Each structure stands twice: as C-alpha cells, then as structure tokens.
A and B are shown apart, each in its own frame.
Chain A
Amino acid sequence: MSNISFNKFYRKFNILSLILIVISLVFLFFKGLNYGVDFKGGTLIELRTTDKTNNISLIRDSFNQMNLGDVSVKKFGNETDFIVKFEKQNSNDPEFIKNIQNKLSSSIGDVDFRRVENVGPKVSSELLKSGIIAISLSLAAMLLYIWIRFEWQFSLGAILAIFHDVIITLGIFSIFSLEINLSIVAAVLTIVGYSMNDTVVIFDRVRENLRKYSDVKIFDLTNISINETLSRTIITSVTTLLALFSIYLFGGEILKGFSLAMILGVIFGTYSSIYIANPILVALNVSQRTIVKEEKD
C-alpha cells in the first residue's frame, strides 16, 4: 500500500480548485458557452468537397453570399470535410437545403452534404431546458441517494466535488469555445455519475476506518483511506481513460467533443474525490461520533 501524504496538500489544492472555479465562472458568466445548433437553433451542414484546393475562407465566402446570418466554417477531420453552421434555419422551405447545395456546387465544385441538422428556435430552447432539467435532476437524485446512504457531511462533500467537476469542465469548454451540444449533456451526466462513483469508494473506506480507529484524527484518517483505495482509484481511472482516449482518437469527429468532455471529467473527478470531498470531511470535523450517533437513531 502506498503512503503518500495527500493531506499535506489539502490547503494548496483547495486554493487551486477555488481559483479554477472562479476562472471558470468568470468565463461562463462573461463569455458564456458556445452552444451548437441543438441549443441555439440554426443549421449545421457537414460537407465533403471533391476539390482538394477548397479551404475554409473559400467556403465561408460562398456561404456569406447567401445571406444566411452568422456563418462559421470549421475543418472536420479529413482535409475535404468541413462543418458549416449558420443562424438561419428554414426547414419549412423544402428547397432550402437543395438551393444551398446548388449554389455551393456552382462556386466551389461538387459538394456532398453528409449531414444536415436544422433546428428551429422553439425546439432548441426546449432541448436546452430539458438538458438543464436532466442535469439538475440527476444531481438531486444523487444527493438524495448519498443522503440516504451516508451522513450529511459526506453528502455535502460529494456534491461539492461534483459541482467542482461540472463547473470546471464547462469552464474549459467556455475558455476554448468548444461546442456544447446534446452529447455534451450526456457526457456531463456521465461525469456526474463517475465522480460520484469515485467519491463513494473513498467515503465508504473513510466510514469503515472511522469505526475501526477511534483515536485517529479525521485529517489523518482521510489520508489513510485515500492511500488504501489509491491503487483502485488509479487503475479504474486508467482503464476508463484508455477507453475514452480510444474513442477520442479513433471514434470519428462526431464523438470528439463528447469524449473530450468525459476525459476532462474523469481527470477532475478523480482529483476532486481526493482533494475536494475529503477536505470537506476534515473541515466539518467528522469523527467516530458522527457515524455512531447516526447509527443509533
């Protein structure tokens, strides 16, 4: 078993986390998130050109001539593949997409529309609402579960750890203007589950050790528990990250954002179960009496 003094760095890492959270919140508040068409409405076209000399500015120019509102063009994997997003969505005009394709073909040569997503303003606001509800509901459900299974000090620690992970992951998405779409919501929910999972494993051990040692202070007790579960924490993070990196690198462009969010979430989730959840137990001065009293009730 390892014997690393994690607890020596509680304070330092808490300050670091606090700084990261503040930075994330500032970005989320002032810069906001880069919502994809799912949540903002508009049109997304994934296209493949036959002419290899086509570049982003050429394609952007062609689209700009069509009066489609704000146009953004990005490379998407292959050299010939691009993602184009614009504000206008007019799915009611059946010729809308066809006309764009015709105009585009005449200016930059044959193009193949591999994917078209067209989301109206009503649907996008509903999707955003249901995404927010889903994340809040899952947080509430986890809180409820952990509240039933553990004492309130533990639930508070676990929930703060989760908030930490979600805020920082979203903060990174905001800082780098990465796109938030439906699959990112799924990723955030999975992060919530994973982070909770990681915290619960350490907390279970803390509680077991609280029963075992009555004379060890919580400050050292959390450290013992972290060390005892450390190799599991590392191995599971490694296998999960192996799977996620495999999706990120080989799973195609569509899953890139999703797997990136998950990778960030797993890293921060592992970190927060050690450096957020445990210091909170210390701060709340959890002792053997905390759990014994609870069990007598």
Chain B
Amino acid sequence: MLYFSKLRIISVIVFTVIFSYFAFSNFVKFDDKFFSKNINLGLDLQGGSYLLLEIDNRPVITQKLQAKIIELKRYFKEKQITLKNFSLKGDTISFETTDNEIENVINILNDKESDVNTYYPTYKSHEFDVLEDGNLFSLNYSRYGLVLLKNSSLDQAIEIVRRRVDEVGTNEPNILKRGNDRILVELPGLDDPNRIKSLLGKTANLTFQFISQNNEESFGTEKLSFEDGSRDAIVSKRIILSGDNLVDAKPTMNSQTNETVVSFSLDRVGAKKFGKATSTGVGKQLAIVLDGKIISAPSVREPIIGGSGQISGDFTFQSATDLALLLRSGALPAPLNIIEERTVGPDLGQDSIDAGILSLFIGFLLVILFMIYKYRAFGLIANLALVSNLFLLIGILTLFEATLTLPGIAGIILTVGMAVDANVLIFERIKEETKNEKNPIIAFDAGYTKSRTTILDANITTLIAAFILFFMGSGPVKGFSVTLGVGILTTLFSVYFIARLLTSLYVVKNKDKEQLL
C-alpha cells in the first residue's frame, strides 16, 4: 500500500493542481475561457426571487369542452346523424341520440381514425373517454387527453411568461417547467419582485366589445364592471377583436388630452375586422375589456380603418408601460397562481456569504489545530490532505458550475469536519499495528489495508443520504446534498492518494526513528 509509482505520483499532482486551478478561477480572472468558470451562487446568497406558478387549467378545459360541443354538433350534422340535448355539466359533455343511431355514434367515437375523438397511438388512448347508457352518451377527457391538454397549455404559458420576464429585463432569469401544470421562475438579483408578480398574475386577455343599448342583462350580453370599480355596464358578448390580432403596443402621450395612453397596431385581419365593426357602430360605446374588467369605453366617433388605435384609461406612465408590455407578450392560455415565493434581498445574501466564509475559515482552522495537536507530523499530512480536499471540492463544483447555497456552504464545513475521519481511522489503526509490528513500513501498510473496508462502509452510508437528498430535496437543500456528496468523493481521493503518498514518503524517510506516530 505504501508503494507509489512515478506515474501515479505525477497523475495525483496533476489532478490536484488542475482542480485547485479551477478553485482559484473563482477569485482570479483568467483569459482562457475554459478556466474562467465560476460557481453559481444560489438565490439565497446573491439575492433574488424564486416564484412557483401554477396554471389554473379549469377555464381552459371549459373552453375546450364548449368548442368540442360545437365541433360535435357540426360533425354529426354533416353525417346526418341527429344528436340532441347537448349539455355540459362539470367536465362532462352529454348528449342523446335516437335508438337506431347508437351503434353508429359509438363506432365513430371509438374509431382509431376518428376525426372528432382523436386517437393517440403512443398512449393507446383516445382524447375522450366515451360512456354510453342506452341512447345517452357522456364524454370525459381521458387521462392522456387531459395530460396533453395541460402540457400544451403549459408550453404556451411558459412562452408567454418568458416573454414578459425578458421584457422587464432582469439579468439571467431561469424559467423551468415543473410537472405538467407548474412553472418555476428564478430571478437572480431582483430586489423587488412586485412588478414581475403583477405582470405574471395577469392573464392579459384583451377584447373589444360593444356596450349594449339595453340596461337589462339578456341572452348575448354580460354585466362587467369597470377596472376602477366605479360602475358596471352591460356589454355584448360578441367579441369584435381580441388581443391575438395585436402586432404592437406601446405607451404614448396623447397630444390633445395630454394623458398617457397605450397605442396599438393591428395585423391585416384585425384591421379589417376593426374597420368593419367601427364603421357600423359609429355612435356606440366600445368597451375595451382586459381580463373581464372594462378599462375604458370610448364612443366611436368615426370608423377606424387604419389598423391602429389608442387605449385610454387613467394610466400613469408606469401602468401604461406595463399594459403595453402585457399586450405585446400576448395572453396567457389560463390564469397563473403564485403558490410559492421566496425572496432574499441582496444585502442579506452578502451577509450570508460573509458569515459562511467566516465560519468555514474558523471551523477549518480549529480542525487543523486539533489535528496537529493530536498527530504532530501526521496531523500536518492530514491537514495537507484536508486543504487539497477543499481545493478539489471547490474545483469540482466550479468545473460543473454547480450552484452554491448557504446550506451548501454548511455542507463544505461539515465535509471539513468529517473528512479527517478517514485519516483518523487509518492513523489509529496504524498505532495499533505498531504495537505488534516493529517494521514501520509493514505496520503502516497493515494500517491502511485493515481500515479500508470500514472507511468505505462509513462513507457509502453518508453518500446514500446525500443521494436521497439530491433527488428529493429542492433549492438550497439540494445545494447541501451536492457539496456533501462531492465532498465524500474528494475526501476519499485526498485520503487515499494525497495523504497516503505523503505518509509513505515520510515513513520511508524516517523508518529508523522510534515511534513514528
């Protein structure tokens, strides 16, 4: 165990030097791109916001089911099959058919080539589960139909979220999918998440609808309240134009009234629709509705055919900017709820870094002093192994650009405390062996051999804990598991290569001395 070939010595040195180099690259700027890697600081250290958003898919499902009913009606009418009594209760579409058409309807709905109930060969499932009871049919989203629906609405939503966050211009946001109805948004360095939160909290569904002449709610109209809550208005359900037709929106000053407005321009289709509606509706009030609330309802004085217009409504410059941003980035397919928020201010992050480094330094110093006190020369060897262990650990974290969190720093300090364990096991074993064995080289060799399984057992158990934490934990705790796990690997390396190399050099040189350890 004490013999090292030249090649081995060189490779240990090279390995250690390379990783120490990476460790240093956190503090020194290297020109070389490969070496100028950095450990990422977690949000708890650099400050920033962590938001977990959940899509509320219920409105999307209802919308899709309503569209499905229309589709079914049209499809079966073309096939000249009579369906009647369509209804939508909860998430179930139900309808009736005549007795002699039952067989036909079942066949169409369960056909693998079905046009109205898409079949997904990969999932071996239709979009809808069909239940029939005599001539009464009910359709429900199948498990996979629902998964696909959620996935597609999540994909859309994540795109919109990304656009909105990018427009605000925070540095290096991290936007990720979580499961099939959640989005994780990490915003490093963001001090005040209020603006982003209010931007993400809006669906931004913009519609233009005429205000009804009648004062009573009736079929085809709905009662909506104004944004400021001052009053209600009866609005026609017919949507003249929606936000989908917008190509641009920006805040401007209206030179006549001197108020801040949002001016928008429409695509070709939108411009046509808008022109047609405004020319027939001169004199009527046009409600501009955002997420079910009326922003303003100006009267149409003349047909608007140029494909551009303005939205007014008591805006400050900030709120006009935000509305324009929302309109530019498009509407979310469904409302997003913020279900978890964690924000750390930048000065607390810096305080945490300072405290982390201070405690690392003190813990390190105490362990080093204790080892020298306990083992003298061999304590020094163990300490050298400990220092290189620290460099290796930081070097590897840097190489993989891992994220360092506050618990992660605690993991490093803990590694420092526990890393000496392996060397202690070896040294204590050597002490025992020296009692029966006069030749120090043989005694040292035996010490290393006999302690090996114990050391492996002991480290594997901690590694198991680290692995499980990594897969189950989130955020800062994950950072802890990474440093703890990598720390065990670097500890084993530093003990079996670096410390053993130094021990063997020392023992061979001093083999004639009395009582080496």
A189 touches B469 (CB 8 A): yes
Q: Is B197 engaged at the interface, CB distance under 8 Å to the other chain?
A: yes
Do A141 and B468 touch (CB < 8 A)? Answer: yes
- In the complex, what residues of B have CB within 8 A of residue A97's CB? 194
Segment at the interface with B among A13-21, A53-61, A196-204, A276-284? A196-204
Q: Which of B164-200 contact A (CB under 8 A)?
A: 194-195, 197-198
Q: Does B338 contact A (CB under 8 A)?
A: yes
On whether the beta carbons of A250 and B201 are closer than 8 Å, the reply is no
Binds B, one of A163-171, A179-187, A215-223, A288-296: A179-187
Partner of B197, one of A91, A193, A242, A259: A91
Could you mark each residue 236-248 of chain A with 1 if its beta carbon is under 8 Å from any beta carbon of chain B, else 0?
1011111111110
Residues of B within 8 A of A190 (CB): 414, 462, 465, 484
Chain A residues within an 8 Å CB radius of B348: 46, 114-115
Say yes or no for B340: interface residue by CB 8 A criterion: yes
Chain B residues with Cβ below 8 Å from A254 are 44, 352, 406
Residues of the A chain whose Cβ atoms lie less than 8 Å from the Cβ of B340: 91, 118-120, 123
Does A66 interact with chain B (Cβ within 8 Å)?
no
Among B356, B417, B424, B476, the residue within 8 A (CB) of A243 is B417
Report whether B342 and A117 are in contact in the complex, using a CB–CB cutoff of 8 Å.
Answer: yes
A4 at the binding interface (Cβ < 8 Å) = no
B413 within 8 A of A: yes
A239 to B414: give the CA distance in the assembly, Å. Answer: 9
| B residues 49-76 in Cβ contact with A at 8 Å | 52, 54
A149 sits at the interface (CB 8 A): yes
Please give, as numbers and ranges, the residues of chain B lying within 8 Å of A205 by CB-CB distance: 454
Give the Cβ gap from B502 to chain A, nearest Cβ, in Å: 19
Bound Cα distance A238, B428 (Å): 15
Whether A247 lies near B457 (C-beta < 8 A) is: no
Counting CB contacts under 8 A, is B458 at the interface?
yes
A94 to B196 alpha-carbon distance, docked (Å): 9
- Tell whether A98 is near chain B: CB-to-CB under 8 Å: yes
| Contact flag A91-B339 (CB < 8 Å), given A142-B464, A145-B461, A197-B461 | yes
| A194 interfacial by beta-carbon distance below 8 Å | yes
A264 to B475, CA, bound (A): 25
Q: B341 in the interface, Cβ–Cβ < 8 Å?
A: yes
* Chain B residues near A131 (CB-CB < 8 A): 472
Within 8 A of B (CB), among A57-103: 91-92, 94-95, 97-98
Whether A271 sits at the interface, judged by CB under 8 Å, is no
Distance between B267 CB and nearest chain A CB, rounded to angstroms: 31
Please tell me if B337 contacts chain A, counting CB pairs below 8 Å.
yes
Report yes or no: B454 in contact with A204, Cβ–Cβ below 8 A.
yes
CB contact list, B186-239 vs A, under 8 A: 194-195, 197-198, 201
- Minimum CB–CB distance from B388 to chain A (whole Å) comes to 17
Q: Does B131 contact A (CB under 8 A)?
A: no
Nearest CB of A to B179, in Å? 10
With CB as the reference atom, state the residue of chain A lying closest to B360.
A246
- Across the interface, do A118 and B407 meet the contact criterion of CB distance under 8 Å? no
**Within 8 Å CB of B468, what residues of A?**
134, 137-138, 141, 189
- In the complex, A24→B188 CA distance in Å? 41
CB distance from A278 to the nearest CB of B (A): 16
Minimal beta-carbon separation of B38 from chain A (angstroms):
22
Query: Shortest distance in angstroms between A112's beta carbon and chain B's nearest beta carbon?
Result: 7
Q: Is there contact, CB below 8 Å, between B367 and A242?
A: yes
Q: A247-B413, A252-B352 are in contact. Are A92 and B461 (CB under 8 A)?
A: no
Write 28 A-B pairs (CB below 8 A) sorted by A numbering.
A94-B197, A95-B198, A115-B342, A116-B343, A117-B342, A118-B341, A120-B340, A122-B54, A122-B339, A131-B472, A142-B465, A145-B461, A183-B477, A186-B407, A186-B473, A186-B480, A189-B465, A190-B484, A196-B458, A196-B461, A229-B428, A232-B424, A243-B363, A247-B413, A251-B409, A252-B352, A252-B406, A255-B406
